Amino acid sequence: MPLTYQPQPLKLGTPFGLQSDLTMHGEEAAGSTYYKGALLQDNDAGLITESTSPVDGSTVADRAFGIAYAAATGTTSADVAFGYIGQYTVLEGTLSNATAGTHTLAATDKFQTYPITKATHNWYLDAAAVSADGGIIIAFKDDVGTVNGRVYFIITAAARGPIHAASGAL
């Protein structure tokens, strides 16, 4: 069953204990169509592209090291400003369920790790599949009982990294 409601985009929460957001710059890969809040990675040729869904660390392509500050321009090598995703980067996103269509936020969702999955445009945490790696929920923005509530999460180590084959996590 598809999602009943398309999620709002991911965004940076607070730079956890740091002085500021961690902004990096890259150059856009050809054919990019990602939206603001998309999870990003390199293309193994020096350019920035959207990560392969889901981001769960299962392969090097299923990782990310950035979140897009703006939608892709469609222009190859255009500047890409992105928020670097590190150990202390807290993201905000929607916890939904690709199988059931929606998910009602429950107390037991906290500190669980879910794959981060791309919907039509935006990315969300998929409660249908508890995962070894992906987004570990550290807090709720919305109340327990909220349908498709917003949560705060950190991306686990194995899901943070570039695309080069067998490259290590960050």
Partner 1 sequence: MALTTQPPPVKIATPFGMAADVVIHGEERASQSYKKGAFLIDDDSGLIKENAAGYVDGGGVTRRTLGIALGDATGTTSHDVAIGYAGAYTVFEGTLTDLSAGTHTLAAGDKWQTFTVRKGTYNWYLDYNTLSANGAFIVGFKDAVGTVDGRVYFILTAACRGGMHAASGAI
Q: Closer CB to partner 1, residue 82 or residue 124?
A: 82
Least CB distance from residue 75 to partner 1, whole Å? 15
Shortest spacing between CB 166 and partner 1, in angstroms: 5
Nearer to partner 1, 44 or 142 (CB): 44
Smallest distance from partner 1 to CB 71, Å: 21
Give the integer Cα–Cα distance in Å for 23 and 25.
7
Residues in touch with partner 1 (CB under 8 A)? 15, 18-22, 24-27, 42, 44-48, 84, 86-88, 157, 161-164, 166-170
Q: CA 164, 166, 170 angle in degrees (round to 5)?
A: 75
Tokens 């929607």 correspond to what residue? 94
- Least distance CB 83 / partner 1 (angstroms): 10
Length of the chain: 170
Give dist(CA 74, CA 108) in Å, integer: 41
Q: Which is nearer to partner 1, 27 or 142 (CB)?
A: 27
| Residue 86 or 101 with smaller CB distance to partner 1 | 86
Cβ atoms within 10 Å, residue 148: 22
Judge whether 7 and 92 are in contact, CB under 8 Å: no
Q: Could you report how far apart the first and last alpha carbons of the chain are, in Å?
A: 34
